Structure 1
């Protein structure tokens, strides 16, 4: 996972994993996302420490962590708070990042 930057935040599309360092559920969610990235052998998600970005949290009305904020076409399309399973995360990827599943 790559740390989010101001430049990326201005982009029309990204998948942003939001966490806090001492959150056990966040660590579990991170491991799911890292496994997905390992399977696809690429960075798919950006990450942001919620504790260091209170303005972002308030502006985007992020209610809790862990969270996966999905931005597409310049607007937030979804906020995932219940990661549940890798299969559940994949259901969002199939909708918002279908190019991961295109045959080469």
Structure 2
């Protein structure tokens, strides 16, 4: 999972059918758990386009997508926003949302 900028996210949504963008903050304990879940997901689905960003550096996304808290996983299908995930729960849960 690579660090993305806002422009990386926008470019990926224009060229990929399914894209996910993981937003976190470094001092968030729940974000650390969510990061581990997403690391497993990226190992299981290496072809899936998933980026991540510290929300402190992409603040415009917080406003644009009305991010309520972190961790947050933005999922877009065919350029259209499909879902904002705040409760990661498990690897299986995230895999289901990304299938």
Structure 2 runs not aligned, ≥5 long: none
Which residue of 67, 71, 79 maps to 1:62?
A: 67
Runs of 4+ in 1 over 6 A off after TM superposition: none
Q: What are the residue-to-residue correspondences of 1:8-87 with 2, within 5 Å?
A: 8-10=9-11, 11-12=13-14, 13=16, 14-41=19-46, 44-87=49-92
RMSD over aligned Cα atoms: 1.7
- Cα gap change, 1:22/1:41 in structure 2, threshold over 3 Å: closer, same or farther? same
Give the C-alpha shift of residue 72 in structure 1. 1.9
Q: How high is the TM-score relative to the length of structure 2?
A: 0.83
Query: Which residue of structure 2 lines up, in the alignment, with residue 97 of structure 1?
Result: none
The normalised TM-score by structure 1 is 0.80
Q: Which structure has the highest strand share of the two? A: 2
Q: Which has the higher contact order (CA 8 A, sep 6+)?
A: 2
Bigger radius of gyration among the two: 1
